[in-house]
Amino acid sequence: MKKVYGSASEALDGLLFDGMLIAAGGFGLCGIPELLIDGIVESGVKDLTVASNNAGVDGFGLGKLLDTRQIRKMMSSYVGENAEFMRQYLSGELELEFNPQGTLAERMRAGGCGIPGFYTKTGVGTVIAEGKEVKSFRGEDYILEEGIFADLSIVKAWKADETGNLVFRKTARNFNPPAAMCGKVCVAEVEEIVPLGSLDPDKIHLPGIYVHRLIQGEHEKRIEQRTVRKREEA
Amino acid sequence: MPWDRNQMAARAAEELEDGMYVNLGIGIPTLVANYVGDKDITLQSENGMLGMGPFPFEGEEDPDLINAGKQTITELRRTSYFDSATSFGMIRGGKIAAAILGAMEVAENGDLANWMIPGKLVKGMGGAMDLVAGVGRVVVVMDHTNKHGDSKVLRECTLPLTGKGVVDRIITNLGVLDVVEGGLKIVETADGVTEEELRAATEATIV
């Protein structure tokens, strides 16, 4: 079964439809599927719900899909870095469902593992608990959160082999594995597709069973907050 | 003289014990790392890293290596990386010994508000709700009063909560308070601050 495709548009062909739920990997601008986002922009698909920890910045990452008004709803934990996002949200054009970051990650992981719901202490007694079932375990209250079952996952990894085994790099791993797991179909983009057998099987971060289509390409990898220290301080 | 930001951070660093895995929030809590001294502390960054190092030298920034505040950082010899579900698994599972966080309001029952002000721009809670619900001990570091001089140490929080009954200790510019049965207990006052001054600046019940 061929998993490697020539471009984002080819890899996304036949997978996109209006109103679909897409799970996207990345934290801030770190480890985001830049090329697949561009491919979705080009496709013109609309009314998307996107589960992603953040919403990019103006003109980059998921910010591109906000600029084109292709996103109807975001499921995120933090969206502070995007003026166009705030404009659309405050004017009522864009729906927003806040999820605590760990709850969002676990909802993706759970969906990918066939778990429709789980109980967590996170958010008990806060607005996040409103309308959710509360259950007591060992004398403590927990709220019911639902697994996310996405129509499509888009993720970014460092290296892959042609069977879709993925290796991530440093903190660019973040939401990519759980996002990849929760989609009916997962498309991954990587910096390098390496020959079969050259990845150490003991060092695969996400097995290829979760990855259905694969592209390789150049990434801008923009830095959101460049913080440095001076050499003389060392 | 009340404590300044660095003195508050230094006092908060005294909360940390050798061998602890700790999560530090943004703002004054970040400064705590400067005051751990010889203690063997491993910092967690909830975007997927244990063993967070200092900012990189100019020219050595790596876009694949950031902290939860999206700042470029470095790794240490002890560093490990993992995905977000695993990261919050260790937070929710109580493996992180302590979190040191900033706050807008804290109540005498340990309620914490630090993520939203109704009517103002809401950016989201990020990982704060997960941290306060999951870690072993929650230490809040903040100014005792807001810019209008009103107490931030309250009988009840007025802002939407981040967590209910989650705070263990409050470190402010005026002193240190513990959340105990029936209210707050004064642990110590900042150098030159009297207990009367601390009480006068506190709306919460002091027992």
Amino acid occupying residue A149: F
Q: Report the complex ipTM.
A: 0.97
Closest partner CB to B133 (pick from A122, A169, A227): A122
Average pLDDT, chain A: 96
Decide if pLDDT at A1 tops 80: no
Cα–Cα distance for residue pair A52/A175, rounded to 1 Å: 8
Examine residue A152 and state whether it is found in any structural domain, yes or no.
Answer: yes
pLDDT-derived band at B1, boundaries 50, 70, 90: confident
Examine residue A1 and state whether it is found in any structural domain, yes or no.
Answer: no
What is the per-residue DSSP string for chain A?
Answer: ---B-SSHHHHHTTT--TT-EEEE--BTTBT--HHHHHHHHHHT--SEEEE-S---BTTBTTHHHHHTT-EEEEEES--TT-HHHHHHHHTTSSEEEE--HHHHHHHHHHHHTT--EEEESTTTTSGGGTTS-EEEETTEEEEEEEPP-EEEEEEEEEEE-TT--EE--GGG-TTHHHHHHTEEEEEEEEEEEPPTT-S-GGG-SB-GGG--EEEE-------SB---B-GGG-
Examine residue A177 and state whether it is found in any structural domain, yes or no.
Answer: yes
Q: According to the model, what pLDDT value does residue B53 have?
A: 95
Count of structural domains within chain A: 1
Examine residue A205 and state whether it is found in any structural domain, yes or no.
Answer: yes
**What integer is the mean pLDDT of A107-131?**
98
Q: According to the model, what pLDDT value does residue A80 have?
A: 77
Convert the pLDDT of each residue in B159-172 to its tens digit.
999 999 999 999 99
Examine residue A134 and state whether it is found in any structural domain, yes or no.
Answer: no
Decide if pLDDT at B120 tops 90: no
Examine residue A126 and state whether it is found in any structural domain, yes or no.
Answer: no
**What integer is the mean pLDDT of B100-116?**
97
**What integer is the mean pLDDT of A169-185?**
98
**What integer is the mean pLDDT of B71-95?**
97
| CATH assignment of the domain containing A12 | 3.40.1080.10
Q: According to the model, what pLDDT value does residue A233 have?
A: 54
In chain A, the residue whose alpha carbon lies closest to the alpha carbon of B83 is A174
Q: According to the model, what pLDDT value does residue B118 have?
A: 85
**What integer is the mean pLDDT of A116-120?**
98
Q: According to the model, what pLDDT value does residue B27 have?
A: 87
Examine residue A163 and state whether it is found in any structural domain, yes or no.
Answer: yes
Range of the domain at A78: 8-116+148-216
Contact state of A128 with B55 under an 8 Å Cβ cutoff:
no
Contact state of B85 with A108 under an 8 Å Cβ cutoff:
yes
**What integer is the mean pLDDT of B188-195?**
96
Q: Which of residues 29-88 of A touch B (CB under 8 A)?
A: 29-31, 53, 76-81, 86
Examine residue A13 and state whether it is found in any structural domain, yes or no.
Answer: yes
